[in-house]
Amino acid sequence: MSAGLEGLHRNVPLSTQLAEGMRDRIDSGDWPVGMRIPSESALVAELGVSRNSVREALRSLVHAGLLDARPGDGTYVRASSELRAVLERRARRGGPGDAAEVRSMLECQGARLASTRATPSELDTIGAALRERDHAADARAFAAADLAFHRAVVAASGNALLAELHENLEGLAEHIEAVSATPDFATFLARNRELNACHSDLLDAIAAGDPDRAESLAAQIVRRSHRTGAP
């Protein structure tokens, strides 16, 4: 959002337009999750608007779950999208297995659809993530590649809403990232050899256009990873 009042619309409340501009900054990554955003005074000076308008815009984004106001400290970006904020709040009210069950449904359906819709480019993306996963030198690289693999599979479903729900599911990235804390990466890989093979088989099933096998393998992966704590 550029400084000043240029581009603002007379028939839309100023605070609403300011909030949309701030939301654009979050969406674009200009204000990444965890960042402390400029103070009210700095935003007032930058945008050339009243403090009340800025305050109301910030308040609306706090209410939406995108920002976190910390008295005496500042305002921080809490979530990258309103969908993620809503899912986070809902997940905190659920049981420990709820996220795993939802993940299973999303990934099973995503894999099934991907087996009939994946483009050559999407298959290449899934394969590249799998190769990075297989050749990861440490647990952190493995976790990042595994997350990329699962997201690429669901993205290949061709259903943008399904992919967005999966990407913003609370606990998915955190569950996979927990692998980074494993004290012995080689032991971890040896213990999960069968689970690792399922990922390769899943790619083969998607590439072969076999929806039943793709769905079955996706279910196995989620079930085994939930049981063992591996992605």
For the chain, domains (ranges, CATH) are 14-80 (1.10.10.10), 85-228 (1.20.120.530)
Residue 3 confidence class, pLDDT cut points 50, 70, 90: very low
Q: Has this prediction a pTM greater than 0.85?
A: no
User: Which residue type occupies 130?
Assistant: L
Cβ-based neighbours of 119, under 8 Å, separated by 6 or more: 156
pLDDT digits (tens, 9 = 90+) for 75-124: 999 887 777 666 666 666 666 567 778 888 999 999 999 999 999 999 99
pLDDT digits (tens, 9 = 90+) for 20-30: 999 999 988 89
Higher per-residue confidence, 220 vs 2: 220
- Measured over the CA atoms of residue 149, residue 154, residue 156 and residue 160, the dihedral's sign is negative
- Measured over the CA atoms of residue 31, residue 35, residue 40 and residue 45, the dihedral's sign is negative
Closest CA to 210 of 93, 119, 111: 111
- Which residues make beta-bridge pairs with 68? 76
pLDDT digits (tens, 9 = 90+) for 131-187: 999 998 888 888 889 889 999 999 999 999 899 888 877 555 555 555 555 667 777
